[in-house]
Structure 1
Amino acid sequence: MAGPEIREDDNFARPLLKAVESGDWNATRDFLNEHPRALTARMTTFMGGTVLHAAVDAEQQEIVMELVNMMSEHDLAMKDNFGYTALHISGNQKMAECLIRKNKELVSIRNKGKLLPVALAMSDGHKELARYLYSQTPFQDLEADRDFNGASLLNSCFYQGDLGMVIKNTAIDSIRGAALQMQREVQWFKEVERICPLTHKEISNKYKLTARQLFTKDHNEMRKEGENWMKGTATSCTVVGALITTIVVAAAFTISGGNNQDTGLPILHDELFKLFIVTNSLSLCSSSMSVLTFLGILTSRYAEEDFLRSLPRKMIIGLSALLFSIATMIIAFSTALLLMLRGKYKIVIPIIGLASVPIILFVLMQFRILIDMLVSTYGSGIFDEKMKPWL
């Protein structure tokens, strides 16, 4: 139920609005304590909105948080003359999070134009806010057969020639590697496209471009950067893999302790020797597989779709195989030293430690890339539970 209406000509609301717009919470609180009905009153001076609408519009985050604590869930859902709740007019993600924590139903409330907050956020250019609101909006509210909110998201993204989800100072800047950034952009486009009716996907904007064509145009530079990043990483890892392959092949034919001149078999037959043979063979197989996988990356066509699954999957397989080959090579090296210098642990242990330092540093640097790839490709996605795994 709406609160009492404060008429514009009685000047009653002016001190309250002035305090809110100036960010003076003390004055705002004192006014509300003196006039409790003003907390939920619909003010004609603010198009029928409440004091919360005014605080959100003025982007006074502290005041918004305090007002949310004072108001009930029902009060937060109050609309102005155009059917807008405070969430509809919010362009600040922190304020939106505060409102939704108190009342999760706000994301499903439509204005008089039947638009959800997520569709309005995208149409107003608040891309990171739109992504957050999408993660909070029930999927059934966006399904294509329900209304046009799903289509509105896609239309808002491309109608004015702007499908570039990446802008400076946004969360995507924290993603390491242009390939992962490109993957994130394709994930976003695919998810929005999924909730859009088929008829809307081929509509052209004012530049005679469909959504897909505009996405390709806007992300051409990012695709090239992602290609260069992938090729650079694959090239460096191919060199390392080839070196490991060369080393372990040579080690297999230069057996510690030598061979028996009569039988040609290795002189050493204990458990350490067996461990050396096994780990050396595993290192050879895994390094060869990593080299072949990275060669597959270098010869890829680098289309937009490849950044979604194909290229990240190859990179994950290649890095995993390379790291495994490095680990088994270290074990084989350590075993060979123990075979040659039995009992001389004061010499063996420092040598193994020093030889492992550069290898461990390389592993640590590449391991972070591997984890990022795994999370980005097989994780829950940027849209939480509504994002289908890209398997």
Structure 2
Amino acid sequence: MTTTNISPSSIVVEVLRGDNYDDWSACMKSYMLAQDLWDFIEPPGLQEGDQEVDSKPIDHQESDSKALRRKNAAALHAIQISCAPYILSKIRSITSAKVAWDTLANMQKLQVTTAEPPQLSRMNAGLDRWRELYKHAHEGNWEATKRFLDLHPEAKIVKITPVGETALHVAIAAGNVKLVEKLVELMSPEDLEIAEQAGCSALSYAAMQGITKMAKCMIIKNKKLVNLPNGGGCIPVVVSCLGNHKDMTHYLYSVTPAELLCEDSGNHGSLLLQFSIASEMFDIALDLLQRFPSLATALDKIWKLNAVTQLSFLPDRFHSGSRLAFWQRWIYSCIHIGPPISFSDHMPQASSRPRKEYHVINLIILSSPRHKQIYDVKLNHIYSAELLRRMVKRISTLDFEKYGECGLFRAFNNAVKNGIVEMIVEMVKVCPNLMHTLDKNGRVFLMSSIAHRQEKIFSLFYGLEGRNGNFLSVTDFFDNTMLHCAGELSPSTQLARISGAALQMQRELQWYREVESIVNPRAKTYCNQNGETPGQLFTKSYEKLMAAGEKWMKQVATSSTVVGALIITVMFTEAFTVPGGNKDTGFPESSRYSENDFLKSLPRKLVIGLCTLFISIATMMVAFCAALRIVMDGRLEVVIPVSLLAGIPVTLFILLQFPLLVEIFISTYGPGIFNRKMKRWY
């Protein structure tokens, strides 16, 4: 199957907004027909249960199903990149191209059924009449706008654009604060409630812009504006939080009635809590959980998600998901941050960031932008841990039967997939049965951690009392054992964390050997539904990676051989060739590159070779400098500059290759990625 290339500029003339659905859908249909993707929008002979391609487990689809999955992703991607950002936000969680298409079509139908009354329609029939007003409002020219409104008093509430915007909407979108304030003075409280075609009031526009002064002047005149949702069902404070406008969000949160956040099964409150977590407005999130604990598990009406699920998508918010270098970890440990503070704790001056306790070492750390990033990382970890603690407290009050209704099984499986140890530990402590829940492939958390290569989650097994043997004998829906999961190809995102195909192959072997050491010996010969033993599956899955690893090892060896040849040429000034070597590489090969060789043998040889190379470079430089001083008869004004210049390429080579040597050494002889000495945690 050929790859479908997606180019945003070649799909549609304009991205989808609220007023161009017909043109947009026509362009999209033509594009998808040309790319052989339209079957995912109007599939011929669609059978029940076939609507979503990715409903089948990824690892066990037939080859044609994998091709269909790729085409569905291509169609979905084409739709996503052809939508305006506020339209995309309404379909971003959808994984089926057809469902996304139908959702957009239904949104268009909703706009048509909520069209303006006949009297306003007649008033807006001739938009050309208001072109001058649009120009003045867009440019922020109050004097010209005032003259126009004096001649046409009704124009202040007329919809003057094709998408139904009033002059106030236009001025807000253009960011003209003074003009907005003047227009608000002329309008009645009811006039401020007029919405454009997509259902957005003027306050929703201001919330999207993030200009607090605009919102204040409108709310002072009509406090009910904070209750009006836009066409997508989001009230202004949620719209502002989604746009990551911290000052605006804090202001709107302070004037939004608390009862509104709890209405409709906590829909608005759930959305605000989710977005405040995603936007790092931790003080608002903590305040919401403190005032309304039920919001932790309340599902919103748009994406059917809740705050617990939202947190499970954010592994970088927790210490277990951080990838810090050694020096970064040291700075991290030196940073002091006080206890978490919620919004109510520092009213009336709400800040976009929680209050900080500045100590001398904090001031030193914060003086550097790079160190400030580490400070923010630790701040995220502390507040996320507090959010998790409050969410788990709410979960502990629920019956197990309600866990599915609240999406907790999904959140738990997401936490396993993303390697969030803190979530797994805290959730299991209040509900041990979660350890035995199954993901979409029928895998318990331990099997899932292997499939997704989350070593920190897998290491939790060593902290279980009695090393719970129930996990070791289970199989998934396809009769795969834990060892089969270790034999499958690692997710590309996990492989990308490791540099070099050979080290990637070594890491996969380490996983296979670790799982092999804890399962029953019979598991080594157990066949899954495809009739494959774990060993056969491993060999099949890693055939290409092993070939790439062999190629990578030869490339590193070749570059080292070239440098070695240059060293000998400099030191002995005579031609050099490697006898008996490989004609392509110029060095003898002493390995057959079997699977097991990547575990210890090949990395050990590479470590020895690189160490020898660095020693050779050092001795060469000593010899070169000594010889230069002798030849130049001790003339340091010549010897020192020449030696320094000669050391530049050598230094660059060492800087480039030394991190590789360290990585190989730690990967081969280090403590390993698994914590077999984990203390009991449950």
Superposition TM-score, scaled by structure 1 size: 0.65
Say if 1:122 and 1:156, in contact at 8 Å, map to a contact too: no
Counterpart of 1:33 (choices 277, 286, 291) is 291
Q: Judging changes above 3 Å, is the alpha-carbon distance between structure 1 residues 74 and 110 closer, same or farther for their aligned structure 2 residues?
A: same
- The answer as to 2:307 corresponding to 1:55 is yes
Contact 2:289-2:295 within 8 A present in 1 as well: no
CA contact (8 A) 1:158 1:205 kept: no
Summarize deviations over 1:161-211 as a string: whole Å, max 9, x none.
Answer: 9701132xx243032111111111111111111111111121011111111
- The amino acid across from 1:166 in the alignment is P
Residues 265-293 of structure 1 deviation map (CA, whole Å, 9 limit, x = unaligned): xxxxxxxxxxxxxxxxxxxxxxx9xx9xx
Structure 1: where are the runs of 5+ without partners? 1-11, 46-52, 252-287
Determine helix, strand or coil for the equivalent of 2:469: coil
User: Does the 8 Å contact 2:428/2:435 carry over to 1?
Assistant: no
CA contact (8 A) 1:79 1:86 kept: no
Contact 2:446–2:461 (Cα < 8 Å) also in 1: no
Residues 217-276 of structure 1 deviation map (CA, whole Å, 9 limit, x = unaligned)? 00110000000000111122123223423443459xxxxxxxxxxxxxxxxxxxxxxxxx
Give the conservation status (yes or no) of the 8 Å contact 1:77–1:106. Answer: no
Work out the CA distance in 1 between the residues paired with 2:514 and 2:393. 30
1:166 match = 491
Alignment of 1:356-371 (within 5 A): 356-371=647-662
Letter in 2 for 1:150: L
- The equivalent position to 2:618 in structure 1, one of 327, 341, 354, is 327
Letter aligned with residue 265 of structure 2:
P
Change (3 A) 1:376 1:296: farther
CA–CA distance in structure 2, aligned partners of residues 349 and 153 of structure 1: 69
Residue ranges of structure 2 left out of the alignment (5+ in a row): 1-261, 277-283, 300-304, 315-382
Structure 2 equivalent of residue 205 of structure 1: 528
- The two structures, once aligned, show a CA RMSD in angstroms of 4.6
Per the alignment, residue 559 of structure 2 pairs with: 236
Aligned with 2:265 (options 8, 15, 19)? 15
Question: Is 1:347 aligned with 2:671?
Answer: no
Is the contact between residue 88 and residue 120 of structure 1 (CA under 8 Å) also seen in structure 2? no
Tell me, in whole angstroms, the C-alpha distance in 2 between the residues paired with 1:347 and 1:17.
Answer: 77
Distance 1:77 1:142 in 2: 28
The residue number in structure 2 matching 1:189 is 512
Which residue does 2:321 correspond to in 1? none
Whole-angstrom CA distance in 2 between matches of 1:33 and 1:366 = 55
Aligned residue for 2:388?
68
Q: Determine if contact 1:231/1:297 at 8 Å carries over to the other structure.
A: no
- State the match for 1:299 in structure 2: 590
- 2:475 and 2:429 map into 1 onto residues whose CA distance is 18
Of residues 21-30 and 176-185 in structure 1, the stretch that sits farther from structure 2 once superposed is 21-30
Distance 1:300 1:197, change over 3 A: same
**Equivalent of 1:175, from 498, 505, 515?**
498
Flag the 1:76–1:368 CA change in 2: closer, same or farther, 3 A: farther
Q: Percent identity?
A: 32
Which structure would you say has the larger RCO, counting Cα contacts within 8 Å and 6 or more residues apart?
1
Residue 469 of structure 2 is matched in structure 1 by 147
Q: Deviations over 1:328-372 (max 9, x none)?
A: 110011111122223310011111112222222222222121111
Q: Distance in 2 between matches of 1:19 and 1:95?
A: 28
**Counterparts of 1:142 and 1:304 in 2: how far apart (Å)?**
33
Distance 1:238-1:112 versus aligned 2 partners, 3 A rule: closer
Check whether the contact 1:337–1:348 (CA below 8 A) recurs between aligned residues.
yes
Q: Using the TM superposition, give the Cα deviation of residue 90 of structure 1 relative to its aligned residue in structure 2, in angstroms.
A: 3.7
Q: CA deviation at 1:40?
A: 9.6
Could you tell me how far apart the structure 2 residues matched to 1:21 and 1:360 are?
54
